[in-house]
Amino acid sequence: MILHTLLDYETLRVIWWLLLGVLLIGFAVMDGFDLGVATLMPFVGKTDTERRVVINTIGPVWEGNQVWLILGGGAIFAAWPPLYAVSFSGFYLAMFAILFALILRPVGFKYRSKRESVVWRTSWDWALFIGGLVPALVMGVAVGNVLQGVPFHFSDDLRIFYDGTTLFELLNPYGLLAGLLSVAMLAMHGAGWLTLKTAGEVNARARRIGMIAAIATIALFAIGGFWLTLIDGYRFTSTIDTGGPSNPLYKTVEVTSGVWFQNYAAHPWMMIAPALGFLGALGSLLAFAAKKDGLPWLMSSVSILGIISTVGLSMFPFILPSNVDPKSSLTVWDASSSHMTLFIMLVCAVIFVPIIIAYTSFVYKVLWGKVAAKDVTDPSNHAY
């Protein structure tokens, strides 16, 4: 309880904002290459055996990687209840599209090779492609919409009302740009994984496509950053009690352009984030060109870290702005659970996250090495 006293409410809120970012980055890095590989599969695998090689680079690990998605969702639910309520209600159709696409993955892995039919296997190949592309695209679109503000408001008794209409309103120009950036980023990441886990023609095709994806990531990230200077951002116009009650209506907010870049002017060290986004993608591009196995994946991980961190640092302390009622916007200071809840969750995170990292590391050590054609054609290996 002494530690609980030392960690005041404001500090715990910042810690859980950071942990949420860590979990989202962990998901993008660990499960992101699965999505990227699935997206690339029809293009890097020209024969049935090659496509089986591609599938078996992620088949043994994709389920474990989704632990990060579950952790992220659980953290939002427990640490940021209003954020969970608004995002999972307002983005319901988008979430459903992601869920439907993700369901295709385990089904595709399990059933694709059950029949020799070309039509059967090709159909499942494209199902796996959808299972990789759609989540990557929709998640990026969601982030693009968060930066622009989401149509929701709170009533005086803190009931939440989502004022949006359909899924298609999310497909606005900036949202689609963010979606394309997400697809390019994860395609680059998936290509990097394939250079680490394959050889021969699959490896060579992955390098070529990875270079294109890296260039696209750099270009789209730059365009998105410039475009963001023209988009309205949000800032406080009232005094904020950073350790006060979680009531989003206890503030006033101003909407004006260029605000999302003010944190970088006030805290120049934050420029590290966008720099990592660009340098990681550039490093991945150069590593692809130099035919360095594994290095493209490491550099694309750095790029993912930088790009996602850029979004979080640009918006801080906002986590979900409202474009119909700015004072209803959710921030780090007014959308969290109670002081005690955040403390208990922190204790659990300190115990269990290292365990997850340890067993994940062990699994990857056991599965280390490239997947070859002989590995998937040998019946004794039980390959996908």
Report whether pLDDT(224) > 70: yes
- Comparing CA positions, the residue from 34, 31, 28, 30 lying closest to residue 57 is 34
Of 171 and 3, the one with more pLDDT = 171
Report whether pLDDT(1) > 60: no
Asked which of 36-40, 41-45, 255-259, 293-297 is least confident by mean pLDDT, the reply is 255-259
Tens digit of pLDDT for each residue in 306-352? 999 999 999 999 999 999 999 999 999 999 999 999 999 999 999 99
Report whether pLDDT(166) > 70: no
d(CA 288, CA 45) in angstroms, rounded, equals: 18
Q: Across the chain, what does the average pLDDT equal?
A: 91
Report whether pLDDT(2) > 80: no
Task: Report pTM.
Answer: 0.93
Report whether pLDDT(4) > 60: no
Tens digit of pLDDT for each residue in 371-383? 888 888 777 777 7
Report whether pLDDT(88) > 90: no
Query: Can you give the pLDDT at residue 6?
Result: 66
Asked which of 79-88, 131-140, 211-220, 291-300 is least confident by mean pLDDT, the reply is 79-88
For the chain, the straight-line distance linking the first and the last C-alpha, in angstroms and rounded, comes to 51
Locate 153 and state its tokens.
């408001």
Query: Can you give the pLDDT at residue 310?
Result: 96
d(CA 57, CA 237) in angstroms, rounded, equals: 51
d(CA 226, CA 224) in angstroms, rounded, equals: 6
d(CA 299, CA 144) in angstroms, rounded, equals: 24
> Confidence band (pLDDT; 50, 70, 90) for 60?
confident
Domain extent, residue 365, equals: 2-381
* Contact in structure between 151 and 191 (CB atoms under 8 Å): no
Tens digit of pLDDT for each residue in 113-160? 888 888 999 999 999 999 999 999 999 999 999 999 999 999 988 888
* Contact in structure between 319 and 330 (CB atoms under 8 Å): yes
> Confidence band (pLDDT; 50, 70, 90) for 189?
very high
Tens digit of pLDDT for each residue in 265-305? 999 999 999 999 999 999 999 999 999 998 999 999 999 99
Question: For the chain, how many structural domains are there in total?
Answer: 1
Give percent of the chain with pLDDT exceeding 70. Answer: 98
Tens digit of pLDDT for each residue in 356-367? 899 889 988 888
Query: Can you give the pLDDT at residue 243?
Result: 86
Report whether pLDDT(95) > 90: no
> Confidence band (pLDDT; 50, 70, 90) for 173?
very high
Query: Can you give the pLDDT at residue 110?
Result: 87
Residue 252, phi-psi category: left (phi > 0), alpha (psi -120 to 50), beta (remainder): beta
> Confidence band (pLDDT; 50, 70, 90) for 3?
low
Q: Name the β-bridge partners of 234.
A: 255
